Structure formats: C-alpha cells, structure tokens
Amino acid sequence: MAGTEELPPDESPAVRVIAMPADTNPYGDIFGGWLMSLMDSAAGSVAARHSKGRAVTIAVEGMAFLRPVVVGDEVSVFATLKSVGRTSMKIDVEAWRRTRHDDRSYRVTQATFTFVAIGEDRQPRSVPPFTPPAA
C-alpha cells in the first residue's frame, strides 16, 4: 500500500527474532521458508493454547511476500485465533520487520494457518468453542 503507513498490531508478538546470516540463501536473502516457519510456530502456539494440547498444521492460505527481510532486521510475528470448528482452528498470522536503527515497522507477509487438534492417538479431537475477544 504505497503512501499508506501501516502499524503493527497492538498486542505483543507471539514470536520476535533477529534475522541472522544463517537464515539466508547463497545470495544473502532471507529464506521465505525461514519466515514461514516462524509464522507456523506462532500460529502453533496459539493453537496449542486454545486446544489445550497438541495441534498440527493442515493448511496455509494466502501467503504472499510483500517486502524483503534482511540480515539484522527484527522480525515480529503476530497470531490471532479467528475461528474454530469441531476439531480445527483458523489463525491469522502477520509478520513485520523493523530495521535495527529505525522505529518504523513494515508488514512483510500475512496468511491464515489452519490447525487440527490431535490426541495421544494422533487422531483429531474436539476443541473448546471460540470466544471472540471483547471489543
């Protein structure tokens, strides 16, 4: 969105890390898969907390890389539970970057992750109903 200043979500990030040289490809660019794994971890944390147990990723929808992440950037990943089915949960995830020497943040990517809660037998199990946060 050129010309429009975006602000990251008000809540605390589920994950915050510094992009390091080990997270790059041979050209020095941050791997998209590294960023996606951070997003999956953030969503997994929300899914496990809501389902009160193990949950597994079954789908990722709508991921597009909007801006690059470079070595030294602080990456903050925000994850919000959006809906719940009988055994599944949809979690909206946004990743934001901030350079080390600036206060401005930029959205890097966003996606919706779907998780299914599973039991000890690795079969789907029911999850608590969704209670939207008070506005």
The pLDDT value recorded for residue 4 is 59
The pLDDT value recorded for residue 10 is 84
Give 3-state DSSP helix, strand, coil % of the chain, rounded to 5: 15, 40, 45
Distance (Å, whole) CA 79 – CA 45: 9
Nearest to 116 by CA among 68, 51, 64, 72: 51
Instruction: Provide the total of helices (H) and of strands (E) in the chain, helices listed first.
Output: 1, 5
Percent of all residues in the chain with a pLDDT value above 90, rounded to a whole number: 79
The pLDDT value recorded for residue 42 is 98
Mean pLDDT, the chain, rounded, equals 92
Residue 2 DSSP SS3? coil
**Average pLDDT estimate for 86-95:** 97
- CA distances (Å), origin 21, targets 12, 25, 37: 26, 9, 16
**Average pLDDT estimate for 51-79:** 95
Report whether 95 contacts 59 (CB < 8 A).
no
**Average pLDDT estimate for 10-28:** 92
The DSSP result for 42-77, as a single string, is HHHHHHHHHHTS-EEEEEEEEEEE-S---TT-EEEE
- pLDDT band at residue 123 using 50, 70 and 90 as cut-offs: very high
The pLDDT value recorded for residue 94 is 97
Distance (Å, whole) CA 82 – CA 130: 8
The pLDDT value recorded for residue 6 is 83
